[in-house]
C-alpha cells in the first residue's frame, strides 16, 4: 500500500511518468563539418572531417561530411558549417586576473568597488576571454572576497557566459610582499588586506588552508618581488625557504597544485626546490633553474604579453605607472623573450599564459606571436595553449584536444594559424561544452 501510494505521488499516472522519462532523455546534438581540423595540436591536420557532439561532449570524429545522426523527437540538432574554416581545440590561458584590468583608475577602484561591483566587472572580462577563443582560464589572484569564486560557479551553472575558470583566490604573500596592495594609508590597508598574507611557517600553513576553505582550485604564492607592486623592493626572493616549503607541503597535502610568481633567479630556484608545480614569469631564470624545472617536471608560464605591456607603459612619458613600477618594468619587461627562448631550447615545458588583466582582456592571443619570437614554431605555440596547458592543469582527460569523450571545446578561424598565427587574434567560431557562443 505504501509503495503504491508513493509511486502515485511521484508520477501521478503512467503517461506522466513516461513523459518525464522522455524529457530527461532528450539530447542536444551538434554536428560540425570542419574543412581542416587540428584535433590534437602537435599531430597532423586532417581535411573534411565531421565532429559529432552530444550533450556537450564529443561523441565522435570521423572523415567526410556526415549527415546528422538519427535523433529522437525531442532532441535538438544543430549543424555548424565550418567547411571553409580551420578548426582546433578551445584555447587555454594559464594566467589571467579576471577581477581587474590595469589602468589609471586601478588603485582607487580597489577601495571604491564593492565585491559585487568587482564580480560584475569580472563577468564582462570573462566574456571577452571566451569570445577571444579561450574556453578555459586559470585565475591566479583575484580582488575581493568571493567575487572570483561566485563568477566561477555561476559560469559552471550556466548563469553567466564565460570560460571555465580554475581559481586560486587570494595570493599567498609575505607582509610587504608583491601579493599585497601597496600605497594606501594604514587604516585603508587594514580594510582591503587579504587572507593570503602570512609570515612564518605556521601562518603560511594556515593561509593555504584558508584558501582551500574558500574553495580555491589551486594555490598561488609570490616567491619574489613583482613589477606592479608599488614599492621599491626589487624582484628578488621574498619568502624564506622554510615558508615556501610549508606552503607547498600544505597545498599538496590538501590536493592542490602550487604555482609561484617569481622573477629573480634566487626566488625561482627556491620555489622549485620547495616543490612548486609551476613558475609564473621566471624572468631571470638561469641554467640551474632549467635543471630544476626538468627535475621536478614543473611548468613555466612566461607571460610575455605582460612583459611587453608594462615595458610599453613605462616608456610612455604620460604613463600612470608610479616611478618604482616604471623602473622595474623597464628592467624586467624586455628580458622575458630571451629567457623564454633559453628555456625552450633547454627543454622546459612551457604552458601558455598571458597575465591578462595586466594586458587587456580579449587580447590574449597576442601571446602567440611573442612565443614564436621566443623560438617556438606556430604548432608548438598552439600546443602550449591546448595540450600542454591542459596537462598543466591536470585536466587533459577533459579538454585540450578534440577527441571522443572530452568536452566539446572547439574554435575555428578562417585562415591557417600554422601559416600565420595572427589568425588566432580573430576567432570566428567559439563552442564551449557543446554551446556555440560565436559563429561565422
Instruction: Supply the CATH number for residue 146's domain.
Output: 3.20.20.140
Structural domain contains residue 17: yes
pLDDT along the chain (440 residues), means of 10: 38 40 70 98 98 97 94 92 98 97 79 88 97 98 90 97 96 83 67 80 97 97 82 81 98 98 97 98 97 98 94 84 81 88 98 97 98 98 98 98 98 98 98 96
Backbone region of residue 378 per phi and psi (left: phi > 0; alpha: psi in -120 to 50; beta: other values): alpha
Strands (E), 178-336: 219-222, 258-262, 278-281, 299-301
> Could you tell me the three cell numbers for 98?
579576471
DSSP code, position 421: G
Residue span of the structural domain in which 434 resides: 2-90+406-438
- Statement to judge: residues 36 and 124 lie in one domain: no
Structural domain contains residue 83: yes
CATH number at residue 63: 2.30.40.10
- Statement to judge: residues 86 and 96 lie in one domain: no
Residue from 265, 261, 325 nearest 291 by CA = 265
- Statement to judge: residues 380 and 410 lie in one domain: no
Strands (E), 17-100: 28-37, 46-54, 57-63, 76-89, 91-96
- Statement to judge: residues 67 and 188 lie in one domain: no
pLDDT at residue 3, as a whole number? 38
Structural domain contains residue 399: no
**438 neighbors 430 (Cβ within 8 angstroms):** yes
Structural domain contains residue 291: yes
Structural domain contains residue 398: no
- Statement to judge: residues 166 and 203 lie in one domain: yes
pLDDT at residue 321, as a whole number? 83
- Statement to judge: residues 117 and 69 lie in one domain: no
> How far is 354 from 367, CA to CA, in rounded Å?
6
pLDDT at residue 332, as a whole number? 79
- Statement to judge: residues 190 and 151 lie in one domain: yes
Residue written as grid cell 604555482: 259
pLDDT at residue 330, as a whole number? 82
- Statement to judge: residues 97 and 174 lie in one domain: yes
> How far is 419 from 379, CA to CA, in rounded Å?
9
- Statement to judge: residues 200 and 168 lie in one domain: yes
> Could you tell me the three cell numbers for 173?
604573500
Residue from 297, 294, 233 nearest 267 by CA = 233
- Statement to judge: residues 95 and 139 lie in one domain: yes
Structural domain contains residue 205: yes
> How far is 85 from 416, CA to CA, in rounded Å?
8
> What is the dihedral sign for C-alpha 33, 34, 38, 43?
positive
pLDDT at residue 224, as a whole number? 94
pLDDT at residue 182, as a whole number? 57
- Statement to judge: residues 129 and 30 lie in one domain: no
Strands (E), 107-194: 134-139, 164-167
Structural domain contains residue 63: yes
Pairing of strands 46-54, 299-301: unpaired
pLDDT at residue 290, as a whole number? 98
Structural domain contains residue 400: no
Q: How many domains does the chain have?
A: 2
- Statement to judge: residues 429 and 280 lie in one domain: no
Amino acid at each position: 500500500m505504501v509503495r503504491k501510494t508513493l509511486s502515485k505521488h511521484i508520477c501521478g499516472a503512467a503517461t506522466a511518468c513516461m513523459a518525464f522519462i522522455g524529457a530527461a532523455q532528450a539530447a542536444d546534438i551538434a554536428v560540425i563539418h570542419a574543412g581542416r581540423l587540428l584535433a590534437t595540436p602537435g599531430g597532423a591536420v586532417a581535411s573534411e572531417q565531421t565532429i559529432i557532439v552530444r550533450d556537450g561532449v564529443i561523441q565522435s570524429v570521423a572523415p567526410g561530411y556526415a549527415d546528422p545522426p538519427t535523433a529522437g523527437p525531442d532532441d535538438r540538432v544543430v549543424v555548424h558549417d565550418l567547411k571553409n574554416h580551420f578548426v582546433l581545440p578551445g584555447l587555454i590561458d594559464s594566467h589571467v586576473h579576471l577581477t581587474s584590468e590595469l589602468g589609471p583608475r586601478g588603485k582607487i577602484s580597489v577601495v571604491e568597488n564593492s565585491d559585487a561591483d568587482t564580480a560584475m566587472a569580472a563577468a564582462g572580462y570573462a566574456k571577452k576571454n571566451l569570445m577571444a577563443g579561450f574556453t578555459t582560464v586559470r585565475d591566479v589572484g583575484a580582488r575581493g572576497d568571493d567575487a572570483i569564486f561566485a563568477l566561477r560557479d555561476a559560469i559552471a551553472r550556466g548563469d553567466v557566459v564565460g570560460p571555465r575558470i580554475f581559481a586560486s583566490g587570494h595570493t599567498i604573500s609575505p607582509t610587504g610582499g608583491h601579493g599585497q596592495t601597496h600605497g594606501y594609508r594604514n587604516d585603508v590597508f587594514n580594510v582591503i588586506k587579504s587572507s593570503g598574507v602570512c609570515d612564518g611557517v605556521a601562518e603560511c600553513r594556515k593561509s593555504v588552508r584558508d584558501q582551500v576553505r574558500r574553495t580555491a582550485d589551486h594555490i598561488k604564492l609570490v616567491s619574489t618581488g613583482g613589477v606592479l607592486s608599488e614599492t621599491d623592493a626589487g624582484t628578488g626572493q621574498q619568502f624564506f625557504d622554510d615558508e615556501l616549503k610549508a606552503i607547498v607541503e600544505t597545498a599538496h597535502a590538501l590536493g592542490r597544485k602550487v604555482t609561484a610568481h617569481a622573477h629573480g633567479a634566487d626566488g625561482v630556484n627556491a620555489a622549485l626546490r620547495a616543490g612548486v608545480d609551476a613558475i609564473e614569469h621566471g624572468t631571470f631564470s638561469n641554467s640551474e633553474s632549467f635543471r630544476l624545472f626538468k627535475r621536478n617536471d614543473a611548468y613555466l608560464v612566461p607571460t610575455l604579453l605582460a612583459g611587453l605591456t608594462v615595458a610599453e607603459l613605462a616608456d610612455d612619458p604620460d604613463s600612470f605607472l608610479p616611478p618604482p613600477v616604471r623602473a622595474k618594468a623597464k628592467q624586467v619587461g624586455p628580458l622575458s623573450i630571451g629567457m623564454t627562448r633559453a628555456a625552450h631550447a633547454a627543454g622546459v615545458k612551457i604552458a601558455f599564459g598571458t597575465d591578462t588583466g595586466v594586458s587587456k582582456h580579449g587580447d590574449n592571443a597576442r601571446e602567440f606571436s611573442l612565443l614564436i619570437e621566443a623560438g617556438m614554431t606556430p604548432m608548438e605555440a598552439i600546443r602550449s595553449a591546448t595540450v600542454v596547458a591542459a596537462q598543466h592543469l591536470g585536466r587533459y582527460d577533459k579538454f585540450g584536444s578534440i577527441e571522443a569523450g572530452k568536452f566539446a571545446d572547439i574554435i575555428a578561424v578562417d585562415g591557417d594559424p600554422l601559416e600565420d598565427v595572427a589568425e588566432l587574434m580573430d576567432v570566428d567560431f567559439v563552442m564551449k561544452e557543446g554551446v556555440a557562443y560565436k559563429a561565422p
